[in-house]
A and B are shown apart, each in its own frame.
Chain A
Amino acid sequence: MLTSLLVIRSVNMSAIKIENIKKEYKLKKQSIFALDNISYDFEYGKMYAIMGHSGSGKTTLIQCLGTLDNVTEGKVFIENEDVFKMSPAKRNTIRNSKIGFIFQNYYLNNTMRAYENVMLPMLINKKFKKSNIKDIAIDTLKDLGLSERITHYPKELSGGEQQRVAIARAIVNNPKIILADEPVANLDEENEKFVLQKLKEMAQNGKCVIVVSHNPEIKKYADVIIDMKRGKFLDNEI
């Protein structure tokens, strides 16, 4: 009873809110607005699919939402806090404990075994100071069906397996926001289904999941579909 109440509370809360954000890239002669005056409110408990042509500003948006990049104009709020008014240390803490990133090319650390990669976000998280982080990492990998691949190096894993390790790394700190940039672009159908299903489950468990993808398959999983064109959102929510 109590848990469901908590879930309902967090579902109602705004995860990331953006207000009139612009991102300008100044080149030699012209300047490009990769994000052009966008306002939106991403909520907990929903899975968002961001679609659009190449160069429409999807990656830029994900980076700005995840505080990895500054915006030229406008405001970004995470849980109603203005991220650009925070200290860099606070932003780091938020990235570590509240946001999980998943990338198209996995970006695992090739010098580390699968479970060591998953341990990385826990090393700097105070929550895990007294826990056995190796066991937690191994359990997370087992949940993602990698119980046979725990001590493998990324090079010894298939693309789908690498992406699952990357997902384990993104969710091991139990962040409430998941930002995924083309997470299934390099995967076969079976792995694609697995990953999208996982992301959907996370949204159902109350997280805010934002996924960039070209793949029309995502429409089956997402709660909200946002089309981007030239740095703007086209309104066609389901």
Chain B
Amino acid sequence: MKFKYYLFLAKKSFFHKKINIINVLLLAISMTIIVFAFSFSKTFNNIIENQISGNINSHILLIPNHSSTVNLSDVDNISFLTDFSFYIKYVQNENDEDISLIGVPSNYLKISSGKNFSDVTDKQVMICPSRFYLGSDSEVYDEAFLENIQDGKKYVNKSMHLLTQNYDKEYKIIGTYDVNKYTYGEFNVCFTRQSNIVDISNSELEYLKNECDSEKQNCEDISLSNTTVVIVDDVKKIDETKRQIEQKGYIVRYMSEVDTNFLNAITIVLLLLTSIILVVCFIIMILYNNKKVEYNKKNNLIYKAMGYDNKTLIKVNYLEVFILSIISELLCITFCFVIYKIISQNFAVDIKTGFQIYISYLAFIVGFVISLCVSILTVYLSINNNKNTLIEELSDGEI
């Protein structure tokens, strides 16, 4: 049979059935739910990826107040460990705030704006967070707190004084790195070249020695009480790493606490939800397709009386469900567009919430393929398994 005729039969069979309106709507809704389940998972995964795993604060474990060298050579999941870290007061305009300075190798950080250490030759340079929070000790993240958050980009190319008892140098901020937008870390952490930390450390030691000398005390054991900074590779395994270090007798603190149990639980819940939605959509599609094919059965038997074979009828039905799937897909895209508009207008993407929706384009294809597969399967099964004869089918009257 000519393709033109297949199309004619499929079109006729599609456009004059009320049941198809229900079917299109149902498929479109199922597809939309699939898209949103996928998009929601993707959004959440992105939050985890960008805001937690991508945030250096979440990777940091601190071993405070020890004097000997820390040996962590047999601890897993560690890629960098520095012994030099200071709390330093900086002075900038009228704000002054404690910041924590950590030495890192020149290519360790991923920057979000400005330059990296390897891009400049100056010695006293820092890379600071993309968001500073200044002048608030509040534990509550209220409006006042949010107002005190400064865009770190504003500080790029500006200089600050770093002060300790015996050290006062101007540092230029050359770039920023991204920080978690939800869980504001404990500290404003800036990074600098390791050599600077050595310098600060030496001058501090010198100051302590002088103090001892002037007070004529016994200063044999002068050493700096250091905080060791451990940077872990995989945030999700940070608890295990912390445990391993603690087994070696050290006290370990998180730089910013990441509730990994919560993260894992949420991931599992999302996965479960998505699978349940998929299964439910699958079942709905099968039920409705079945109903539709039941509806077609008598028609098909009349076609058989005219000499049509199963293959031709199956092809016509396939074409019909293909038309159906395409129309549902278009409707689904429209739904998604409208819903996306509504969400993004009401939950505007801004610096305060840091909320951004990711649409999973893959889900459109997945939804389409699923609906097509289910439809094709039901058509195939119901035509090939219909052993009823015309008498039985026609015995109850009208088509």
Contact = CB atoms under 8 A, between A and B. Distances in A.
A69 B5 contact: no
Given A109-B302, A111-B12, A123-B5, A88 B309 contact: yes
B394 A107 contact: yes
Given A60-B391, A63-B391, A69-B391, A109 B309 contact: no
A124 B1 contact: yes
Given A69-B390, A103-B394, A111 B309 contact: no
Contact of A110 (B15, B16, B308): B16
A120 to B, nearest CB: 6
Nearest to A101: B305
Contact of B307 (A69, A103, A121): A121
Contacts of A169: 306
B339 to A, nearest CB: 34
A118 B302 CA distance: 13
Interface stretch (A37-45, A89-97, A217-225): A89-97
A63 B308 CA distance: 16
A225 B305 CA distance: 25
A34 to B, nearest CB: 9
Interface in B366-395: 389-391, 394
A94 B2 CA distance: 20
Which of B16, B307, B399 neighbours the largest number of chain A CB atoms within 10 Å of its CB? B307
Nearest to A62: B391
Interface string B163-207: 000000000000000000000000000000000000000000000
Contacts of A120: 303, 306
Interface residues of B, number: 28
Interface string A110-121: 111000100011
Contact of A109 (B299, B307, B394): B299
A38 to B, nearest CB: 17
A191 interface: no
Nearest to A93: B307
A59 interface: yes
A89 B394 contact: no
Nearest to B395: A59
Interface in B3-52: 5, 8-9, 12-13, 15-17
Interface in A42-95: 59-60, 63, 66, 68-69, 88-89, 92-95
B interface SS class? helix
Contacts of A174: none
A151 to B, nearest CB: 14
A149 to B, nearest CB: 18
A197 interface: no
A105 B397 contact: yes
A111 B17 contact: yes
B25 to A, nearest CB: 20
B302 A107 contact: yes
A107 B299 CA distance: 8
A96 B306 contact: yes
A112 B302 CA distance: 14
A75 to B, nearest CB: 19
B248 interface: no
A69 B16 CA distance: 30
Contact of A124 (B17, B305, B307, B389): B307
A115 B17 CA distance: 20
B304 interface: yes
B312 interface: yes
B119 interface: no
A86 B184 CA distance: 80
Contact of A59 (B16, B304, B391): B391
A107 B306 CA distance: 12
B398 interface: yes
A92 B306 CA distance: 8
Which of B2, B15, B305, B308 neighbours the largest number of chain A CB atoms within 10 Å of its CB? B305
A33 B342 CA distance: 68
A109 B10 CA distance: 13
10 tightest A-B contacts by CB?
A96-B307, A111-B16, A95-B307, A123-B5, A92-B309, A121-B306, A69-B389, A101-B305, A92-B307, A107-B302
Given A60-B391, A63-B390, 10 more contacts: A92-B307, A95-B304, A96-B308, A107-B399, A111-B13, A111-B16, A120-B306, A123-B1, A124-B5, A124-B308
15 contacts: A66-B305, A68-B389, A69-B389, A89-B309, A96-B306, A101-B306, A105-B394, A105-B398, A107-B302, A110-B399, A111-B12, A112-B12, A121-B306, A123-B8, A123-B9
Interface of B: 1-2, 5, 8-9, 12-13, 15-17, 298-299, 302-309, 312, 389-391, 394, 397-399
